[in-house]
Amino acid sequence: MLDSGIALLWADQSYATPIKDFGRFTADKRTSVMHSSDTEGCERAFLSALIELQWNAKREGGNAVVRIRSLGQNRQFSLSTTSYSCQPGRVSAHVTLRGEVVKIP
């Protein structure tokens, strides 16, 4: 589901100096947790948010989303390769990611 042609780089990962910067984008996704666990709902919402960030990059002409951060309850949360912020509820899980779309060499 993720596009291997659009790099996803978390907040603290290094990357080459961008050729062009297209701005910051936010992906705010909710998914149903009915008939699934909070973990499964959070994972689906996280994947949906990453797909939206990649879609923004493709639409703008970028090839990477860098400095990706998770936003939880109006606070930034630095992503790692194993953690992000998710707010599960009774009927849905909510994940918000923000990143900068760029074109890197």
pTM here is 0.87
Q: In percent, how much of the chain has pLDDT > 70?
A: 90
Give per-residue pLDDT as tens, 20-58. Answer: 999 999 999 998 877 778 888 889 999 999 999 999 999
Among 47, 52, 51, 34, residue whose Cα is nearest residue 88: 34
Q: Where do the domains of the chain lie?
A: 7-13+28-97
What does 25-46 look like in DSSP terms, one character per residue?
Answer: EEEEEEEE-TTS-HHHHHHHHH
